[in-house]
Amino acid sequence: MNYVEKTGKTIEEALELALAELQVPPERVDYQVLEEPSKGLFGLIGGRMARIGVKVKPIDPMAVAREFVIQVCEAMGLAIEVDQLTKEDHTVFNIRGEGLGVLIGKHGQTLDALQYLTNLTANRDAEEKVRVILDVEQYRQRRADTLTRLAQRLAGTVKRSGETVVLEPMTPSERKIIHMALQEDWRVSTYSEGEEPFRKVVIALKN
């Protein structure tokens, strides 16, 4: 619901009723006075309630996402700058600053959690859904390059020895990198096994 009409003894009362129904703060709406209140003759005859139309302002989900990231980092005592890069189906926020290792966490788990919350916040009131990818000093690209090289090296080991290799537990996004790195290798196959958060990638020879 983005628009309501409400009546009240005063414009302020009508606005309060509209905000309660729309469940948004005052700064999120525009309103138009449709009828001014009137006490009528001697305050007794022909009185009229105030009537207003209230419309929720459209929001910019990317601005919401950016503000959320900045506020979280400030709460963690981190002074950051955010570079925004718009791509075909998503937008990348690359976070720059000092001492951002805590923002990445082990294998990017903290960064993934913040990314999830950022998308949740950005899309909560958005008319069109957006997808935000968070990165820290190009960490994700560096990690992807490292995992790709690891996958290729371990695939070589599997092909030479014939023995299956089980990698350490990884996040879904990191497991996807391993699978993608070896999908064109006709001599090995990859699959995941185990339960989250201990799910692992297995590299094995194809039958």
Cα dihedral across residues 35, 38, 40, 46: positive or negative: positive
β-bridge partners, 137: none
Q: What are phi and psi of 35, to 5 degrees?
A: -145, 130
Q: What is the DSSP string of 46-73?
A: S-B-EEEEEEEPP--HHHHHHHHHHHHH
Per the rule left: phi > 0, alpha: psi between -120 and 50, beta: everything else, 101 is alpha
CATH of domain 61-137: 3.30.300.20
The pLDDT assigned to 125 comes to 75
Tell me which of 3.30.565.10, 3.40.630.10, 3.30.1370.50, 3.40.605.10 is the CATH number of domain 142-205.
Answer: 3.30.1370.50
Question: Where along the chain do its domains lie?
Answer: 3-56, 61-137, 142-205
The pLDDT assigned to 58 comes to 83
Instruction: Please give the CATH topology (third level) of the domain spanning 3-56.
Output: Defensin A-like (3.30.30)
Residue with tokens 């090296």: 153
pLDDT per residue as tens, the chain (207 positions) = 688 999 988 889 999 999 899 888 888 888 899 988 887 555 555 568 899 899 988 888 999 999 999 999 999 999 999 999 998 889 999 999 988 899 998 888 899 999 999 999 999 877 788 999 999 998 998 999 999 999 999 999 999 999 999 999 988 889 999 999 999 999 999 999 999 888 999 999 987
The pLDDT assigned to 175 comes to 94
The pLDDT assigned to 41 comes to 54
The pLDDT assigned to 46 comes to 53
